[in-house]
Structure 1
Amino acid sequence: MRVSLRVRYAGPAALAELVRAAEDGGYDGLWVSEPWGVDAGPVLGWCAATTRRLLLGTHVVSVFARTAAATAGLATSLQTLSDGRFRLGLGTSGPQVVEGWHGVAFERPVAVTGETIAVVRAALAGEPLQQGGSRPLRTAWTGGSLTVPIYLGALGPRNQRLTADAADGWTPTPYSPDHHATFAAPLVDRLAGNGRTVAIAPVCPVAMGSDVTALLALEKGWSGLYLGGMGTFYADAARAMGFGDAVAAVREHWRNGDRRAARDAVPDGYADAIGLFGSPQRIRDRIERYAAAGVDELVVELRKPDLGDQLADLRAFRKAVG
């Protein structure tokens, strides 16, 4: 099982420290998220120039944030700059970001994702694209065809089926190995029918220490945001895991503007189910759940806010899991 790091860009100094620690510490890959206001492309270009062996990826870029052809251009640039180490992570995001930040209608998300995959693959292969009734155009890249693995951050059943049919990897968040059979049922069923395989690379929040309750509180702050205010797909995933009553409470508090109550309504059991928290021994014991579920790559997201604590957890986690 590979172990990779997902980072949220917070400036060049912190990025340099985390990337260096991941490269030197034996991590297999580095994923860069793209929240609103940050472009993952330049960040990953810098990472490509300053690393030697880490696999690099977007985790994830919204299919609504760029035209499909522009996404193909992003993949072309990063695959060539990294000497073949790039992976394209795609997702839909949600209407709050797509409409509120990008100013684009959040319509036909699964269809747009499928169309984006098709255009990206065709453009990278050097095939002509004809869009909007104009004459066909080929990519201006003259270095030959490229192959870039495509991962989808798919949670809904239709998007999971699209992953099984057209993608190379599945990288969900949230994810719990304890609920894999239910949570990933559409993906598993479709793969059983079409004979394909995809890499399973879920996000795994991590915080290390002896006070598990305090560490879970770090995750509950993030989960309150995602379950309460970031679209129904995160809430639906938690419901599928059996936390329907808690989701209802979190969302009610969020609608009422009580962020603290929303955080506190997230059960410890939910936070513990979607990440790895505690001492090195506790983490060693619990990481076997991911291997047993068939996870190919664990995408670690550090939950402590302080950079020094993040670096310490980054090193300690890799040592703990071997």
Structure 2
Amino acid sequence: MKLGLQLGYWGQGPIPNAAELVGAAEEAGFDSVFTAESWGSDAYTPLAWWGSQTSRVRLGTAVAQMSARTPTALAMAALTIDHLSGGRHIIGLGVSGPQVVEGWYGQPFAKPLARTREYVQVIRDVLAREGAVRNDGPHYPLPLAEGPGVSGLGKPLKPITHPLRADIPIWLGAEGPKNVAQTAEIADGWLAVFYTPRISPMFNGWLDEGFARPDARRTRETFEIAANAQCVITDDVAAALDRYRPSAALYVGGMGAKEKNFHADLYRRMGYGDVVDEVTRLFLSGKKAEAVAAVPDEMVRETMLVGTKDQVREQIKEWEASGVTTLMVTARDTDTIRELATLV
């Protein structure tokens, strides 16, 4: 089991002690550090800024949203930071949801699986630099040959800069069965959000479907599973659950439309369908405090590692036994980072 530090995306402003956290993670032997984006701070700028002070940890995005950049633009950012870090970059991608894709980026959300497959292939073609990049797919055509305002003068190109690595690992954020199976087929790793060992047989079934496909890129033995988890070492479990209960309510009730919320769908598969319905109803009617209160302890706790040192050590063993190769923790103080490093 490896440890990764998930810095996430910013709220109203930058994470005040992020540089200190990154330094502590590298010193404590963490394998990786990740940044994210929603519709505020971006993923690549903080990763480069804070990552410039490191020399060993891998630097990843978890996740960079596909609709924020064309696949060639993402490949440019990736090959750049991979050079600057000496080959330590991990490309972490996700489709986000229709509210963000269409509401913030102004892009159509349809066919997320097909878009992901095409997006990943274009990135791999850029990084391979075996010739001018062409793509005949409907989502990211290269060169663009027709459409309103198209000059018809576009030409296939290959990157001026030679990538340091043609095989920069690509990890995909995925929550549903089809998306997870495709991730196992075309990617180098899976970024799992709201993971719980309790339903790992379901997750592993989805992954095995992807590994069994004829053109699967990797096997289970060479594939990485990075599970995101809040991690709190404490004697006061109740207080820790109360601290993270609002986040659970937000993701199942407010992060996505009522008609399509991938986080809510995942919690339904975990057996919390009635809770999801109630939290969503309360959240969308403006009763946020009541929505938070409707989230039961067990729904918060099972996607966390929380308790005393000994309890957290045993929980880490459970997550590892379920197939997780990297525990991506969201610790926000250096003491927790150092303590966690002693438990793995």
TM-score range, shorter chain: over 0.9
- Within 1, Cα distance between the matches of 2:212 and 2:164? 34
> What is residue 3 of structure 2 aligned with on the other side?
3
Conserved 8 A contact 2:26-2:54:
yes
Establish whether residue 271 from structure 1 lines up as the match of residue 300 from structure 2: yes
Runs of 5+ in structure 2 lacking a partner? 135-141, 146-153
> What is residue 339 of structure 2 aligned with on the other side?
316
1:246 maps to amino acid: V
Conserved 8 A contact 2:83-2:163:
no
> What is residue 235 of structure 2 aligned with on the other side?
210
- Name the count of aligned residue pairs: 315
1:244 maps to amino acid: G
> What is residue 16 of structure 1 aligned with on the other side?
19
Q: What do the CA deviations read for 1:28-57 (whole angstroms, capped 9, x no partner)?
A: 110111121212212111233210100110
The one of 172, 175, 178 equivalent to 1:155 is: 175
Q: CA deviation at 1:123?
A: 0.4
Q: CA deviation at 1:122?
A: 0.2
2:133 maps to amino acid: L
- Within 1, Cα distance between the matches of 2:133 and 2:84? 24
- Within 1, Cα distance between the matches of 2:15 and 2:35? 13
Establish whether residue 125 from structure 1 lines up as the match of residue 128 from structure 2: yes
Against the structure 1 CA distance between its residues 184 and 218, is the aligned structure 2 distance closer, same or farther, given a 3 Å change threshold? farther
After TM superposition, the structure 1 stretch with the greater mean CA deviation from structure 2, 134-143 or 122-131, is 134-143
Against the structure 1 CA distance between its residues 246 and 13, is the aligned structure 2 distance closer, same or farther, given a 3 Å change threshold? closer
Against the structure 1 CA distance between its residues 270 and 13, is the aligned structure 2 distance closer, same or farther, given a 3 Å change threshold? closer
Q: CA deviation at 1:135?
A: 2.0
Runs of 5+ in structure 1 lacking a partner? none
- Within 2, Cα distance between the matches of 1:184 and 1:170? 11
**TM-score, L = length of structure 1:** 0.93
2:325 maps to amino acid: D
The one of 31, 44, 48 equivalent to 1:45 is: 48
- Within 1, Cα distance between the matches of 2:22 and 2:164? 30
Conserved 8 A contact 1:182-1:241:
no
**TM-score, L = length of structure 2:** 0.87
Structure 2 residue matching 1:202: 3-state secondary structure? strand
Structure 1 residue matching 2:198: 3-state secondary structure? helix
Against the structure 1 CA distance between its residues 141 and 181, is the aligned structure 2 distance closer, same or farther, given a 3 Å change threshold? same
> What is residue 171 of structure 1 aligned with on the other side?
191
**Runs of 4+ more than 3 Å apart:** 142-145, 192-196
Identity %, equivalent residues: 37
After TM superposition, the structure 1 stretch with the greater mean CA deviation from structure 2, 100-109 or 173-182, is 100-109
- Superposition RMSD in Å: 1.7
2:337 maps to amino acid: L
Higher helix proportion: 1
Q: What is the 5 A alignment of 1:39-188?
A: 39-126=42-129, 127-130=131-134, 131=142, 132-133=144-145, 134-142=154-162, 146-188=166-208
Establish whether residue 258 from structure 1 lines up as the match of residue 314 from structure 2: no
- Within 2, Cα distance between the matches of 1:267 and 1:204? 18
2:326 maps to amino acid: E
Conserved 8 A contact 1:208-1:215:
no
Q: CA deviation at 1:171?
A: 0.9
2:62 maps to amino acid: H
Structure 2 residue matching 1:17: 3-state secondary structure? helix
Structure 1 residue matching 2:330: 3-state secondary structure? strand
Conserved 8 A contact 1:178-1:289:
no
Structure 1 residue matching 2:232: 3-state secondary structure? strand
- Within 2, Cα distance between the matches of 1:88 and 1:204? 19
- Within 2, Cα distance between the matches of 1:143 and 1:129? 14
Against the structure 1 CA distance between its residues 145 and 53, is the aligned structure 2 distance closer, same or farther, given a 3 Å change threshold? closer
- Within 2, Cα distance between the matches of 1:69 and 1:284? 42
Q: What do the CA deviations read for 1:101-143 (whole angstroms, capped 9, x no partner)?
A: 2222222211111111000000011131231123211112135
Establish whether residue 30 from structure 1 lines up as the match of residue 33 from structure 2: yes
- Within 2, Cα distance between the matches of 1:211 and 1:144? 47
1:230 maps to amino acid: M
Conserved 8 A contact 2:93-2:170:
yes
> What is residue 320 of structure 2 aligned with on the other side?
291
After TM superposition, the structure 1 stretch with the greater mean CA deviation from structure 2, 16-25 or 129-138, is 129-138
Q: CA deviation at 1:268?
A: 1.0
- Within 1, Cα distance between the matches of 2:109 and 2:265? 18
After TM superposition, the structure 1 stretch with the greater mean CA deviation from structure 2, 142-151 or 16-25, is 142-151
